[in-house]
Amino acid sequence: MIIVSDLHKRYMTDHGPGPWVLQGVNFTIPPKVNVGLIGRNGAGKSTLLGIIGGIDYANRGHVERRCRVSWPMGFGGGLQGSLTGRQNAKFVCRVHGHEDDMAERLEQIQAFAEIGSFFDEPVKTYSSGMRSRLQFALSLAFEFDVYISDEVTSTGDAAFRKKAAAAFKNLANKAGLIMVSHSEGTLKQFCSAGIWLHNGQAHWFDQIDDAIKAYKESIAA
């Protein structure tokens, strides 16, 4: 279960505090419920996802995680650019206490990322797509109760997107998902519930179709 309470977020600009991106956001995500975040560009979807995943922080309010939550899958941050993909993967394995089966996990990460010899090259030489592939593969290598994703199924070529979608489907059968996607088909494929972000507020819908409908009506208006 993830409980978001009175979340407020805005960023500093050259002229001082910017407008509120999130303003008094409240919702609870039950265990093993797959949720899609929906809203206009700039509505705060990625910001909210980052806060839930622990890579960003709120100005006010808090997130209570009563489960193991992944970092945002495909998120390029958290990788040390001067280290190779393999060295980054080894570090993550150690952080998660997987010294004993590290070789097996490294093999899994390398195979899924499909970046070939670049796995042994510094991450700073990677394209953004390669970084996303590696981060996605890293996320899959460890077990979480909830996986969070920001447009990760749109990464890479058609073959990789198909593989990512298959991996997501497998995750959906055993864990919860929180995802951002601009593809209505992807949201319907993987999500049962929806959160529509509008004017800094979060509106919970038990059915993803209802969240998409509310979003479309707001655009039409």
Structure confidence at residue 154 (pLDDT): 56
Q: Which residue has the higher pLDDT, 57 or 131?
A: 57
- Alpha-carbon distance of 4 to 64, in angstroms, equals 6
Nearest to 104 by CA among 89, 83, 119: 89
- Find the length of the chain: 221
Long-range contacts of 202-207 (CB under 8 A, 24+ apart): 202/4, 202/22, 202/25, 202/26, 202/27, 202/48, 204/27
Q: Would the pLDDT of 86 be above 90?
A: yes
Structure confidence at residue 141 (pLDDT): 84
Q: What tens digit of pLDDT does each residue of 156-211 get?
A: 567 777 887 788 778 777 888 999 988 898 899 889 999 999 999 999 999 999 99
Average pLDDT rounded to a whole number, residues 75-93: 84
pTM value is 0.82
Q: Which residue has the higher pLDDT, 133 or 74?
A: 133
Q: Would the pLDDT of 9 be above 90?
A: yes
Q: Would the pLDDT of 24 be above 70?
A: yes
> pLDDT confidence of 18, banded at 50, 70, 90?
very high
In whole angstroms, what separates CA 219 from the centre of its chain? Answer: 25
Are the C-beta atoms of residues 197 and 43 closer than 8 Å to each other? yes
